[in-house]
Each structure stands twice: as structure tokens, then as C-alpha cells.
Amino acid sequence: MSGLREHIVFAGGGSGGHLFPGLAVAEQLAAETPRTRITFAGTGKPFEREHVEAAGFDYLALACRPIPRNPLELPRFLADNLAGFWRARRFLHQERVCCVVGLGGYASVPMARAAARCGIPLVLLEQNAVPGRATRWLTPLASAVCLAFGTARAYLKTRGPIHITGNPVRPAFMRYAAERGRAAERGRESFFALGGKPVVQVQGSFAPRVEKDSRPLSRQLLVLGGSSGARSMNENVPRVLARLRPHLTGWRILHQSGANDREATQNCYDSLRLQATVVPFIADMPATLAETDLAVSRAGGTALAELSVMGIPAVLLPYPHAADDHQRKNADAFASAGACIVVDEREPFLCERLERSLDSILSSEIRRREMSSAMRQNASPAATDEVVRLILAGRS
């Protein structure tokens, strides 16, 4: 590649959980090697294209489909993925790509397979405690595999190197996390210096101060159902929070509902006479998490990486239909460290269990501090740098 501008392709997307770690690595890569050209290859969905183009990278849409449940859809599945593979292969030849980074999910397969066929180094990122089917299938072809959870190693069969890097998060998270960390240290010092009297954050600022009266300053409770929202959370969380109304004095509620359920979720809060801001999607998640004191969230690997690097305690409701129950296994890894509470939607009396869990955290500043510290201890702040190092070392 001497004398030529290097070109690296990130393959995959589909959901924020796959796309955002790729964007984190790409942004860091662009900062360290500004002459490198970066292209994302995905499904062509507006969600992917908009975020990639907003980050300043090129985008290539490839035909691809997940494995169908209905056998009658198998011919379309084979035709689309084959078409995606051939287009990816032509692109790799024409653009002289030196490395492909697979982000997981079915959207990564055509480009990753084409890279392996062309002899181009393939680096895989796996965000969850149990690897997805795409990662397991592609691992024997990879020159390196980067895992967010060490437990994922047992599911993979490969002769290539496996690295436990943690899950990359975008640079903006690290900037806000550093400020939150400094604020947490100042708050802890003030807390003990004042004989254990509560220290609270000023809305819009990270400088803690002592309340002059009994009215607590505003804290933020964030409800996250993933980039597309979660209907069961949209329906149940408002009802539970309404029961906890006495504990929510001084708290503001921000609820990411997904585009399809925004109006219904807002109407639910309104009918319960509980003030909340409901949005379909949070574009600036780093800034939002910087002002968040407690989260109710799904348990995707990327969401947990972002919450942990920011030190945000959480009540987690793993998606009950996730492949191989990987969200529950993600959540259990953090719960065992005391960083969160896990509420399983498949068990009876969901609202009652969720109410008890939130009650125990909302009513105790000390517990929120302890959980926040445990979250930070389970973060992987060097993950992005480590993945970038591996990509640069392995390119052809």
C-alpha cells in the first residue's frame, strides 16, 4: 500500500448496538490516521446512512437479509446475500481496501465474506457476552476478534487471536466521562467534609454543591429501550414510575420510546399525570448521559458500555427474546459486580418487581453512589484505542 491512501471498510449496522462501536473506532482511527479513507457498508437503512454521513464517512448499501424463519423466504435470502457478496467483492477490488472491520449482525456478512475471499484482513467486533451467529460463523475467517466480554471466548472456534478489549464507545462519551469522574471525586470529598450531608449536582453543570434548603435539585431518570424503543417498557415503566411518585420529587424523566410508540407513551404519562419528556430517539446520547443519574434500560452490550463508562447506575430489563438470551448474560455480568439490578420480564409480577428495584435505588443516594462506582470499575475506557491498534497492526 506504499504511496497509496489506505482504505478501511466497516461492515454492518442494522441497529445502534452494532453501528455505534464501529463509529467510535472509525472516529478514533480518522483522528490518528487522517489520510485513511473510511467507508461503512450496511443495509441501506436510513438509520445507518444518516449516522454514518453525519460522522463524515462514506456509505455503501449492500443487499442482505437475516436468516428467514419461513422456508418460503429462503430463495430471496440467498439471492440478496449473494448479490451483496458480489457487489462487496467488486468494491474491495476497485477501491484497494486494506482491512475490513465486521461489526456483527447479518449486515456484516456480505462484506466480511468478500474480504476473506479476497485475502483482505478481517477484524471482528463482538459486543455481547454470547456472540451472535454472524460472529461465530465469520470467526474462523478473521485475522483478529475483539470481544467485549471474556465469556464470549468459549463460544468461538478459531485459530486466530482473540482479544478481550471491551466495547468501544465514541470519543464524546470519554470527554463527558472524564468530567463526570472529576465531579464524582469532588462530590465524594465534599460529602465527607460536610459530615455526610447530601451533595447534589446542579442541572446543566457538573460542579456539586450543598442544598441551601430542603428542595432537591433536579436529577434525571433516563428510560432506554434501545434505538428502536421497547414496547413492553413503554407500557410498563410509566405505570411503575407513577406508583413511585413520592420518590420522584426533584427528578425529571426522559424516555426514549422509539418512533412508533412516542405518542402512545407520552399519552400514558399524561393519563397518569406524571410529567415526562418522551422522544423517539436521542441523537446526542453522550450529552444526555452526562446529565443522567439513573437509567432504566435494555441490556445490549453497547448500551452497557456507554452506561458503565459514564458511571450510571441502572435497572436493566434484558430483551427476553434476544438470541441465546445474550442480553440477560450481559446484564448478569454487571449485576454480579453490584453495578445494576436485573429485572427479568419473563417472570411474573413484572411491575411489582420493577417497583421494588427502583424504590431501593431512588430512595438511597448512598446506594446510587456505590452502584455508580461499580459501573465505572466495569467499564473499558481503553477499548477504542485497543481496537484501533489492532486494526492498524493487522492491515495488509
Q: What is the pLDDT of residue 233?
A: 95
SS3 content of the chain, % helix, strand, coil (to 5): 50, 15, 35
Contacts of 388 (CB under 8 A, 6+ apart): 25, 28, 29, 32
Q: What is the pLDDT of residue 61?
A: 96
User: For residues 36 and 22, is the Cβ–Cβ distance under 8 A?
Assistant: no
CA distance 284 to 73: 38
Q: What is the pLDDT of residue 136?
A: 95
Q: What is the DSSP letter of 186?
A: H
Domains 7-167+381-394 and 171-377 share a fold: yes
- The distance in angstroms from the start CA to the end CA of the chain is 8
Looking at 3.40.50.2000, 3.20.20.20, 2.60.40.1930, 3.30.565.10, the CATH number of the domain 171-377 comes to 3.40.50.2000
Render each residue's pLDDT in the chain as its tens digit; 396 residues.
Answer: 445 679 999 999 878 899 999 999 999 999 999 999 999 999 999 999 999 999 999 999 999 998 888 888 999 989 999 999 999 999 999 999 999 999 999 999 999 999 999 999 999 999 999 999 999 999 999 999 999 999 999 999 887 799 999 999 998 999 998 887 777 666 654 433 434 433 333 333 333 333 333 334 589 999 998 777 788 999 999 999 999 999 999 999 999 998 889 999 999 999 999 999 999 999 899 999 999 999 999 999 999 999 999 999 999 999 999 989 999 999 999 999 999 999 999 999 999 999 999 999 999 999 999 999 999 999 999 999 999 999 999 776
Helix axes 16-32, 301-310, angle to 10 degrees: 60
Is the domain defined by 7-167+381-394 classed in CATH 3.20.20.70?
no
pLDDT tens string 314-363: 999 999 999 899 999 999 999 999 999 999 999 999 999 999 999 999 99
pLDDT tens string 134-193: 999 999 999 999 999 999 999 998 877 999 999 999 989 999 988 877 776 666 544 334
CA distance 137 to 105: 11
Grid cell in block for residue 73: 423466504
Per domain, the residue ranges of the chain are 7-167+381-394, 171-377
Grid cell in block for residue 352: 411489582
Contacts of 72 (CB under 8 A, 6+ apart): none
User: For residues 105 and 12, is the Cβ–Cβ distance under 8 A?
Assistant: yes
How many degrees, rounded to 5, is the angle at CA 366 between CA 361 and CA 367?
40
